[in-house]
Amino acid sequence: MDVRSAASAPKQEIRLEDYKAPVFTIDKIDLTFRLHDDHAEVEARSLFKMHGDAGGALQLDGGPFMDLLALEIDGQPVPADQFVKSADFLQIRAVPKTFELGIITKVYPKQNTRLEGLYFSGGNFCTQCEAEGFRHITYFPDRPDVLTRYMVRVEADKESCPVLLSNGNPKESGDLENGRHFAVWDDPHLKPSYLFALVAGDLACQSDSFRTASGRHVELNIFVAERDLDKCDYAMQSLKRAMVWDEEEYGLEYDLDVYNIVAVSDFNMGAMENKGLNVFNTKYVLASPETATDADFDHVEGVIGHEYFHNWTGNRVTCRDWFQLSLKEGLTVFRDQEFSSDMTSRAVKRLDDVRVLRMLQYPEDAGPLAHPVRPEKYIEINNFYTTTVYNKGAEVIRMMHCIIGPEAFRKGMDLYFERHDGQAATCEDFATAMEDASGVDLKQFRLWYSQAGTPKVVVRRERDGEDLILTFEQSCGASPGQALKLPYHMPVRVGLIGPNGGDVKGEIEGDGVWSSSECVLHLRNARQSFRFRNVPEGTVPSILRGFSAPVVLDHDLSDDELAFLAVQDSDAFVRWEASQDLFSRHLVKQVETNGVGHLPELLQQVFVGHLEDKDTDPALIAELLALPSEIALGQKLDVLMPERVHVAREALAKALAGASSEKIIALYHSLTAGHGYTLDQSAKAARRLRNMLLTYIALLPDGEAIIQAHYAQADNMTDCMAALTLIAHSDFAFRDQTLADFYSKWQKNDLVIDKWFAVQAQSKRPDTVARVRALTEHEAFTFNNPNRLRSLISTYSMLNQVRFHEKSGEGYRFLGEMIAKVDEINPQTAARLVAPLGRWGRVEEPRRGFMKDALTSVLKAPNLSDDVRELVEKSLA
């Protein structure tokens, strides 16, 4: 079947305000999948109950890529003149009050390159139904507020598909004729269609078990390709840690007899929380010291946790409609962040999360694709699985936690489950539960759900005798469809660092209370002052501790005060932020004046202070030593000047390295000694610092030899990639050979080869755009695998600011071509490539025109998907 010829009419915009509850319920659905080499037959039998009058019509969602083989009501074929079928729905003219609907469809998993619905990956059948994939399997009311009970029978060839999985608990299995066999799965929990899953194939399995707090025995399985069986340990340990954590933190237990995880190599996103049968991108399951970096291990733990936590925040309580997506995603990201903080270092995890938010979400919020955490309209819902819904959504939950406090928050969670278990709920339901549990009015706070854009907060200081007055002004620029914004309720955590470096307190006048060494100020007005009584002269305020609200803060601290906080603050976030501000201030000045200045004494002192700090976690020191990224610096400029940013940053790094070369090299070697590979927090922290030092060493005259040795001696992927990244940036004579050797060593491991592509896409060398283009012709490159596309194309266009924004416009043209090409294969993944081209408002001509030209050329592609069209049109508006 030709996928393209089946294209349907452009989708209409869907609006939150038009939401209507379904007029029927479905008591249960029995599904039978007959899997064959080149197709699958799907028989669905559902018991419908209509709530209106009998004789009304029933409309079901469907897709253009399946054939309808049979349609019956109560066992009788529905006559052809009694139903209409289009590319995306099936309407039956009149249905009785209660009836059994029987449907047989035929689908083509091997032709499904869109990777939604039932598809084929690495020799196995698998499904992805969120958000609207189930409609490509059978005709069904494919919306999250239709919950029903699923019984699933899977039949397939026994030799090619020995493993047959679906949701819930295994019920029955056995042999059939012709070398086929079957398995029946029964899910006792009601669920919406997006949580349905099926996997069939030849998979190896690592098993373990878990006993829940109340004594339920749970079998745990991770299914992977045979060759990957040695890389599942960390995922399994992470799963068990997540299960314990949710019991201890929230009193939430697992609710089935088995928990199955399957790793597939072709996957549009990270992983999927299907009830009892999570399907994961291999990237977030497989990890061994030789193939995965420390960051990869952390991501495995975080994503395993995320999908596990969805069992309550997503599955037991699901979303009423897709506008409520952040109800499950924002909350579950918050939960996985807290889990990772408890498993690793809370301070460093917070920096990592803030960095991601600023690097990905802030640009989204500032550009043409900005939307609220709870969007109000969409054309293609897959385009709203965004960093705003996920990461800003998590910040919204974090702020609630801060405003009402941890005990009330936990009470609110209990109340939320008590009220909504088994239901499809809304963000409003969640906020109400938090409000009722805490007694705190969150009316104004709800603006965080409905208003897009990153608020700006300006804080100014005044002394009045013994008192310190902090005056805050908040504002938020216009976003698409939202010209004016109302003031937010934002929690601002503040401490006061006395002249001797210790925390001091001052009695507050205004809306704030102290707890131990800090207070939470409740900012509610456009302009608001807080008076602290009896604050010693020379006290420096430490503002927005822990990054307590996702805003851009503008303060009036002097360079000396920043340097003081960078060393003295008891809050790790403010310490880091103060260092970053100090570096940024200098660099922005350099960029704006196109200056090549000297190294300011104060910067060097702060840098050396961090190098010599023996009391702080080395992982945090690594971050304190890091210069702000080119992207972070770009965000501080009114007009992005990518080359100047790159040049200024390199110059400062080189000056800092040169001025402290002996200290840097000595610290580097001290971390080398006694550095045996383990995954302990302390060993990971030492590697992080040592590899950060290596980035400075790369800029020293004798750097080349140290990097070569670092690469040669690396006994783990973290150290190996740290060196390879620097080598890929460099002009070292051994550069090309090293990349070639790495490739031949790892060519059988897709996840490692993804790193090989990414490291070249990130190179700051002037020839990068040409090399990236050439890499699309490499034997290992394929347009069919989302991980591969992301590793080369997204890394280049989203993380390599200076090389993407080539003045020739070549980076933009390249991306435009890639979007159109990927769209023919996989619209969801193509759409995820669009955003960088929409940031033309940040650059000047000729770049601006080139970016718009690239977008316009994408629109000219024949058969452009709704996914890409929606984002490109918004990006041009």
Which residues form the catalytic set? 307
Which of ligand ARG, Zn ion, none does residue 166 bind (CB under 5 to 8 Å by kind)? none
Task: Name the amino acid, one letter, at 262.
Answer: V
Among 188, 158, 157, 280, CA closest to 225: 280
Q: How many residues bind ligand ARG (CB under 6 A)?
A: 14
Which of Zn ion, ligand ARG, none does residue 345 bind (CB under 5 to 8 Å by kind)? none
Is 272 an interacting residue with respect to ligand ARG (CB under 6 A)? yes
Interface region with Zn ion, contact rule CB under 5 A, candidates 102-110, 171-179, 291-299, 331-339 = 331-339
CA distance 523 to 375: 24
Report helix angle 681-697 to 642-659, nearest 10: 100
Which of Zn ion, ligand ARG, none does residue 364 bind (CB under 5 to 8 Å by kind)? none
CA distance 235 to 335: 17
CA distance 109 to 125: 7
Q: Whose Cβ is closer to ligand ARG: residue 329's or residue 704's?
A: 329
Backbone angles phi, psi at 118, to 5 degrees: -95, 125
Residue 599 CB: number of other CB atoms within 10 A?
16
Q: Smallest distance, Å, CB 631 to ligand ARG?
A: 24
Among 26, 40, 184, 271, binds ligand ARG (CB under 6 A): 271
How much is the CA Rg of the chain, to the nearest whole Å?
28
Is 336 an interacting residue with respect to ligand ARG (CB under 6 A)? no
Considering only residues 311 to 330 of the shown chain, the ones binding ligand ARG according to CB under 6 A are 329
The DSSP code for 153 is E
CA distance 387 to 474: 23
| Cβ within 8 Å of residue 490, ≥6 positions away | 399, 455, 457, 474, 522, 523, 548, 549, 551
Q: Whose Cβ is closer to Zn ion: residue 281's or residue 332's?
A: 332
Q: Whose Cβ is closer to ligand ARG: residue 338's or residue 518's?
A: 338
Q: Smallest distance, Å, CB 326 to Zn ion?
A: 10
Using DSSP, state whether 418 is helix, strand or coil. helix
Q: Smallest distance, Å, CB 194 to ligand ARG?
A: 8
- Total length of the chain: 877
| Cβ within 8 Å of residue 670, ≥6 positions away | none
Structure tokens at 760: 């070249």
Q: Whose Cβ is closer to ligand ARG: residue 121's or residue 760's?
A: 121
Cβ neighbourhood burial of 346 (10 Å; 0-12, 13-18, 19+): middle
Among 385, 416, 417, 449, binds ligand ARG (CB under 6 A): 385
Is 865 an interacting residue with respect to ligand ARG (CB under 6 A)? no
CA distance 516 to 503: 10
Among 447, 409, 414, CA closest to 428: 447
Which of ligand ARG, Zn ion, none does residue 272 bind (CB under 5 to 8 Å by kind)? ligand ARG
Is 164 an interacting residue with respect to ligand ARG (CB under 6 A)? no
Angle, CA 313 vertex, CA 307 and CA 315 arms, to 5°: 75
Beta strands 24-35 and 148-157: pairing type?
parallel
For the four alpha carbons of 677, 680, 686 and 687, in that order, the dihedral sign comes to: positive
Is 331 an interacting residue with respect to ligand ARG (CB under 6 A)? no
Among 33, 117, 130, 775, binds ligand ARG (CB under 6 A): 130
Among 284, 334, 346, 281, CA closest to 310: 334
Are the CB atoms for 698 and 650 separated by under 8 Å?
A: no
Interface region with Zn ion, contact rule CB under 5 A, candidates 103-111, 327-335, 530-538, 794-802 = 327-335
Q: Smallest distance, Å, CB 312 to Zn ion?
A: 12
Q: Whose Cβ is closer to ligand ARG: residue 742's or residue 783's?
A: 783
Q: Smallest distance, Å, CB 684 to ligand ARG?
A: 25
Considering only residues 249 to 268 of the shown chain, the ones binding ligand ARG according to CB under 6 A are 268
Q: Smallest distance, Å, CB 808 to Zn ion?
A: 39
Query: Alpha helix locations (H) across 464-600?
Result: 559-568, 572-593
Is 131 an interacting residue with respect to ligand ARG (CB under 6 A)? yes
Is 113 an interacting residue with respect to ligand ARG (CB under 6 A)? no
Considering only residues 828 to 847 of the shown chain, the ones binding ligand ARG according to CB under 6 A are 828
Among 3, 204, 269, 700, binds ligand ARG (CB under 6 A): 269
The DSSP code for 9 is P
Is 447 an interacting residue with respect to ligand ARG (CB under 6 A)? no
Q: Whose Cβ is closer to ligand ARG: residue 145's or residue 518's?
A: 145
Q: Whose Cβ is closer to Zn ion: residue 61's or residue 307's?
A: 307
Q: Whose Cβ is closer to Zn ion: residue 127's or residue 875's?
A: 127
* Interface with Zn ion (CB under 5 A): 329, 332
Q: Which residues bind ligand ARG (CB under 6 A)?
A: 128, 130-131, 268-269, 271-273, 306-307, 329, 382, 385, 828
